[in-house]
Structure formats: structure tokens, C-alpha cells
Structure 1
């Protein structure tokens, strides 16, 4: 297995607590995360260590199901999920850093275990630019959503 890392960060005009709450509202992630729907499967809202989440990423009838377990839960700063699927394996990391009372930085990193040795690494080289573009697009949507939530006082 080869492990690769891809990550991006965005600065948000909202307090760290608003960013954290928005990012970990799993059921609403599809409103900012490109082509993804997430739901907790272990009961409750999934905001706890050991919670199991299920994401479906794709468009139309084409999609990949990604089961994840929260393996680190340090609110309101850091959450690590372990991808448990056949296709997607590795760790996803969400980190929120306060930059002041009304500003925060959110960093999303994926540490992915590529299957198929050299063939998987070659496939990743092809897919990586599109993956990164989707990550950046999603983070811009997250930024707008957090700022709108903060301005509305919700």
C-alpha cells in the first residue's frame, strides 16, 4: 500500500465554534461537500468518538459508499475519521484553528491508502488534480455557508 496526502485550507469569517459545528453536522455536509451525502449510522448525530458514518460520493447512479469511524474527537478543534471501505481507505482529518473572535482556518486533509501498488499510484496521478479541485470547490462552499450561518445568528 502506498499512502498519499492531499489537503487544503480555507479562512472563514466566522468563529471557530461555528465552523466546527458546520463541519461536523454530518447530515448537512452534502450542502457544501461536492457530490457527497453523509449520515451517521450508529444512532444519534454522530458527534462522538467511535461513531460510524456512511458517505456516498458520486453523481447520478454512479457513486462510491464510504464507511467511516471517528477515531479522534477533540471538539472544537480536530476530528479524524478512518475510511473503512474497499475503495476508500485511510484517514480524513478536519482541523479548525481560531484566528480571532470572528475568524478561523479550516483544514481538510485526506491520507489515503492507494491499492494496487504502482498501478494505484499511476491512477492517483491522473485523479489527483480533479480530487484537489473538488476539495477547493467544497471548501469555498463551506466558507460561504459558515459565514451565512454566522451572519444569520443561527
Structure 2
């Protein structure tokens, strides 16, 4: 009995250390495309604007905007948002931590962004830091676009 108590205590202490351990995970680096890649539209000779007025951009204009690189404890998150007019049509990850929770959260965050068309989305349980970094990078891209 005298040996059982220290063995149980040491086992419990060892379990706590293992339970609290979080491995350091390096984030994957992705080659970044040129900033603000926008397809060039050919000039139209039929469009005339009166002096002193400006023409509004076409509703189907495609614009790609990179969000800010947001660093957290698990790595860096950076998104690239594709806008068609004022609609968010695609979100791609330029940087995402190479961990299970981050890789699981990525598609869910993109899906919710496409549904809400804004950065006002919920965080994914188990990937809170990645979700918060995603939201910050997404909001930076939306702000940079001017929406």
C-alpha cells in the first residue's frame, strides 16, 4: 500500500503533462500570386459617359484580393477572396497551419463565408484560433476591396 500511493500520484502528474502538451506545427508555405490580380477588360468604344459623370464598374467584374497574414499560436492564416461584382464567389487559403483542426475548419469557414457573404461568421469548435485568424484575414480582404 505504501508504494501504491506514490505510483498513483506520479501517474496522475504524468497524465496531466501529456494532456497539456501541444506540439508545435509548422505552417505550409504557399507561393503567393501577384497582388490584386484582375483580368484586363478590353476598352469598349460603345460606352460613352457624359462629362462630369463616372461609369459604375460592371456588376460581373472579377476581382481577387489578398487578406492580411494573421499569425496565431498554431501558424499563419491568410486568405485570397474572389469577388464577382459585390458577391464573394470564392475563398482560397494562401497560408493555413498544417494541423488536423485547421484543415478540418478550412472548408467549413469557406462554406459559411459564401453563405453569409461577410466576415460575420461563427468560429469552428476546436479550431478557435484558426477561425479567428481566418475572420481577421477575410475582413482585411473585404476592407481592401472597398465593400
TM-score by length of 1: 0.25
Greater relative contact order (CA < 8 Å, ≥ 6 in sequence): 1
